[in-house]
Amino acid sequence: MKPVKNGARRMGRYSAFDLARHGVARNGWPRAWHNHDLRRAYDVVVVGGGVHGLATAYYLAARHGISNVAVLEKGYIGSGGSGRNTAIIRSNYLTPEGVRFYDRSLKLYESLSTELNFNVMFSQRGHLTLAHNDSSLRTMRWRAEVNKLEGIDSEVISTAQVKELVPYLDTSSEARYPVLGALYHPPGGIIRHDAVVWGYARAADSRGVHIHQNTEVLGIDVAGGAVRGVATSGGKVATPVVVNATAGWATLISDMAGVAMPITTSPLQAAVTEPVRPFLGPVIVSGSLHVYLSQTDRGELVFGSAVDPFPSYSMRGSLDFIESLAGHVLELMPSLAKMRVLRQWAGLCDMTPDYSPIMGQTPVEGFLVDVGWGTYGFKAGPVAGEAMAQLIAEGKTPELIAGFSLDRFMRGELLGEKGAAAVGH
Amino acid sequence: MILIPCPHCGERNVSEFQYVGEALTRPNPDGVDPEQWRSYLYLRSNPAGPTVESWFHRAGCRRYLKVERDTVTNEVTSVTLPGRGGPQP
Ligand SMILES: Cc1cc2nc3c(=O)[nH]c(=O)nc-3n(C[C@H](O)[C@H](O)[C@H](O)COP(=O)(O)OP(=O)(O)OC[C@H]3O[C@@H](n4cnc5c(N)ncnc54)[C@H](O)[C@@H]3O)c2cc1C
Ligand SMILES: [Zn+2]
C-alpha cells in the first residue's frame, strides 16, 4: 500500500524531529483536529464517531476524494465501544468469509501507523485460544485448517508448547479444566485503541472531513424511499447518504429510517489491574472458562469475558461479573491471586444472531449500515471503513463484504461465527 | 444488584433467572412464508426504554415469567405469569 501524501490542511506532521523540538521548546502541541460549524448539506453523513465511522470518513476522503463528509457523534469520539474495548486484533475466525475479511483488517493495521502518521502501537505478541475439552480441540483444528487455506498463520499446538509460551499458566492435569492444547495465531495481538480513533480522526480532518462532537442525530428524513437528510441536536442537515455506524445504538438509528434490524444490545464488561513487570507474552483466551487476558505495554493485566446475560443499554458494571471473572482467571493463573483490580467498566455491543456483522445497503436508498459489531468489531474498523467508503464511492457492494449484507437473514444464509467469537473477541 | 420479584418466590437476584427473549407471538409454522418465519426468528425491536420480555426462573420455581423492564435503567416494573393469549415464551 502506498503511504498517503501529506495533506495541505494537516496541522503539522508528527516526526521524531518534531518530538525533539516540542520536547525542548515545550510550547505545547497543536490541536489534532478542528471544530467546525455544521454545514447545511453534506455529500455523506456518518452517524457515530467510533473507529468504524471515522475510518469510513477517512477512506472516503483519502482514497476516493470525497471530503464533504460529516461524522456526527453524540458524545466525544471514542466514547462508545471504540474507547472501551480490550483491543484484541486477530484474523483466525471460522468461516472463510470471516477469515478473509478480518485478515484484510489485520494487514491494514500493520501499516496503519505509517498511513495515518500516528503511532497506534500495534503489538503483535501472538494469540492463544485454549482448549479444555475434546470438542473445543476439534473446533480449533477445523479453524486452523480454514485459516491455513486462507493463508493465515494459525495452528493447533500442544500443552507443552503452550507452557513454553506462557510459563505462568496452570497446565497441570490437576486443574479443574486441564489445558489440552491451543489454537496459536502469532500475528494476533493488542493495539492502543484510543490512538486508532484519534489517528483516523486527525487524518480525516486534515483531508477536509468535519467531525462534529456533541451532535446527536435525532431523526432521519426519508422521502420516496430515499434518504434526504438528518435532524440533529445542532439543526437539520441535507444529505443523500447516511451511514449508520453506531454499534450498540444501531437499532435506534435504523428505526429512524424505518429499517428493521436483527440486533440486540448487550453490555460487555472488562477490568484492568495495577501494572506489574512484563511476564505475559501472548493474549490468552479460554472459551470454557469464559475469560481472556492480556498484559498491556504499561504492564496492566486486562481481563474480559462474554457479554452480560441479558440485553440492556445500561453501562453499569456488576459484582457478578468481577466475581466470576476473578475465579476463572485464578483457575488459569493461580499466581495472580494477590493482584489488585483497579477498575471495571462496560460498553454496549450490537449482537447479531450469527456473531457476524451487517454491512451494506438497506431497503432505504442511501441508508447504509455498518453495524452488528458485537464484541469483536474493533479489529474490523479499517477494513469495514475501507469497504464502506468503496461502496459509497462506486455505488456497488465490494466482494469482500457481500456475504455480510442485511438481507442474508431473510434469505436464511447466516454466517455462523459464534464458535470463534463468543468469548475471544 | 438487580432484583426480580417472582410471583412465586419473592424478590430474587437476577442471576437466578435466565433471560429468554423479547415477548413475541410465534407465527403458526404451518402456512407461514419463510420471510415471516425469519422475521420472527431474527428481527428484534431492541428498544431503549420500557419493554416486555420472557424470563425463566432457573434457580427457583422454574416457571416462565412475563417481565416488564426498562432497558436503560434496568428497573423491573412488573412480573406476572404469562397468561393464555398473552406473550408466550
Ligand atoms: C469491554 C469490551 C471489549 C471489547 N473487546 C474487543 C476486542 O478485544 N477486539 C475487538 O475487535 N472488539 C472488541 N470489542 C468490540 C468493539 O469495541 C466494538 O465492536 C467497536 O468498537 C465498534 O466500533 P464502532 O465504531 O462501530 O462503534 P462505537 O465505537 O460504539 O461508536 C458508536 C458511536 O455512536 C455514537 N452514537 C450513538 N447514537 C448516536 C446518535 N443518535 N447520534 C450521534 N452519535 C451517536 C456513540 O456515542 C458512539 O460513540 C469490545 C467491546 C467492549 C465493550
Ligand atoms: Zn420463581
Using an 8 Å Cβ cutoff, are A416 and A354 in contact? Answer: yes
**In Å, how far from its chain's centre is CA A406?**
19
What pLDDT does residue A425 have? 78
Nearest by CB: B42 against A262, A311, A316: A262
Q: What is the rounded average pLDDT for all residues in chain B?
A: 91
Residue B48 Cα to ligand 2 midpoint, Å, equals: 26
pLDDT of residue B84: 53
- Using CB atoms and an 8 Å cut-off, which of residues 12-41 of chain B contact chain A? 14-15, 18-19, 34-35, 38-39, 41
Q: Determine how β-strand A226-232 pairs with β-strand A217-223.
A: antiparallel
Q: Which of residues 51-70 of B touch A (CB under 8 A)?
A: none
Give the pLDDT of residue A185.
98
Positive or negative: CA dihedral A422, B2, B6, B12: positive
CA separation for the pair A418, A383 (Å, rounded) = 20
Instruction: Quickly list DSSP for A190-252.
Output: E--HHHHHHHHHHHHHHTT-EEETT--EEEEEEETTEEEEEEETTEEEE-S-EEE--GGGHHH
Of A113, A279, A123, A99, the residue nearest A186 (C-alpha): A123
One-letter amino acid identity for A72?
L
Indicate yes or no: CB of A412 within 8 angstroms of CB of B34. Answer: yes
Q: How far is A355 from chain B (nearest CA, A)?
A: 12
Supply the pLDDT for residue B89.
Answer: 45
Contact (CB<8Å) B43/A265:
no
Backbone angles phi, psi at A286, to 5 degrees: -125, 105
Helices (H), chain B: 34-42
Q: Sketch out chain B's domains with CATH numbers.
A: 3-80 (3.30.2270.10)
Kindly state the helix (H) or strand (E) to which residue A119 belongs, with its residue range. none
Q: What would the pLDDT profile of A227-279 be if each residue is shown by its tens digit?
A: 999 999 999 999 999 999 999 999 999 999 999 999 999 999 999 999 999 99
Residue A400 CB burial class (10 angstroms; 0-12, 13-18, ≥19): middle
**Residue nearest atom 32 of ligand 1, based on CA coordinates:** A246
User: How far does the centroid of ligand 1 lie from the alpha carbon of residue A194, in Å?
Assistant: 12
d(CA A79, CA A81): 7
Q: What is the pLDDT of residue A7?
A: 41
End-to-end CA distance of chain B: 25
B26 is written with which cell numbers? 410465534
Cβ contact A410–B45 (<8 Å): no
Superfamily (CATH) of domain A41-91+93-117+193-263+354-421:
FAD/NAD(P)-binding domain (3.50.50.60)
Cα atoms in the Cβ-side hemisphere of radius 13 Å centred on B83 = 4
Chain A hits for B42, CB-CB cut-off 8 Å, are 262, 353, 409
- The packing angle between helices A381-394 and A51-64, to 10°, is 50
Q: Is B71 close to A313, i.e. CB distance below 8 A?
A: yes
- Residue-wise pLDDT for B60-82, tens only, equals 999 999 999 999 999 999 999 98
Which residues in chain A touch residue B15, judged by CB atoms under 8 angstroms apart?
Answer: 320
- Any CB–CB contact under 8 A between B72 and chain A? yes
pTM of the model as a whole: 0.95
Does the pLDDT at position B88 exceed 80?
no
Spatial distance between the Cα atoms of A218 and A216, rounded to a whole number of angstroms: 6
Ligand closest to CA A271: 1
Q: What is the pLDDT of residue A6?
A: 40
Domain boundaries in chain A?
1-30, 41-91+93-117+193-263+354-421, 127-189+269-348
pLDDT computed for residue A11 by the predictor: 66
* Distance from residue B6's CA to the centre of ligand 2 (Å): 5
User: A127-189+269-348: which CATH number, 3.10.580.10, 1.10.760.10, 2.60.40.10, 3.30.9.10?
Assistant: 3.30.9.10
The Cα of B32 is separated from the nearest Cα of chain A by a number of Å equal to 14
- The residues near B87 (Cβ < 8 Å, ≥ 6 apart) are B23, B24, B25, B52, B54, B66
Residue contact B71–A265, C-beta within 8 A: yes
CA distance B83 to B85: 6
Strands A44-47 and A242-244: parallel
- Are the CB atoms for A295 and A278 separated by under 8 Å? yes
C-alpha cell at A424: 475471544
- The backbone torsions φ and ψ at residue A410, rounded to the nearest 5 degrees and listed phi first, read -75, -20
Q: Is the CB of A85 inside a 6 Å radius of any atom of ligand 1?
A: yes
- What is the pLDDT tens value at each position of chain A, 425 positions in all? 344 444 444 467 899 888 888 888 877 788 899 999 999 999 999 999 999 999 999 999 999 999 999 999 999 999 999 999 999 999 999 989 999 999 999 999 999 999 999 999 999 999 999 999 999 999 999 999 999 999 999 999 999 999 999 999 999 999 999 999 999 999 999 999 999 999 999 999 999 999 999 999 999 999 999 999 999 999 999 999 999 999 999 999 999 999 999 999 999 999 999 999 999 999 999 989 999 999 999 999 999 999 999 999 999 999 999 999 999 999 999 999 999 999 999 999 999 999 999 999 999 999 999 999 999 999 999 999 999 999 999 999 999 999 999 999 999 999 888 776 767 77
3-state secondary structure of A370: strand
CA angle A340, A343, A349 (to 5 degrees): 135
Q: What distances in angstroms separate CA A295 from CA A164, A280, A377, one per listed residue?
A: 17, 6, 20
Residue B55 is predicted with a pLDDT of 97
Above 90 in pLDDT, residue B1?
no
Q: Are B87 and B54 spatial neighbours (Cβ–Cβ below 8 Å)?
A: yes
Number of H helices, E strands in chain A: 12, 19
Distance CA A298, CA A294 (A): 11
pLDDT of residue A58: 98
Residue B9 has pLDDT above 50, yes or no: yes
Report the separation in Å between the CA atom of A28 and the middle of ligand 1, taken as the mean of its atom positions. 30
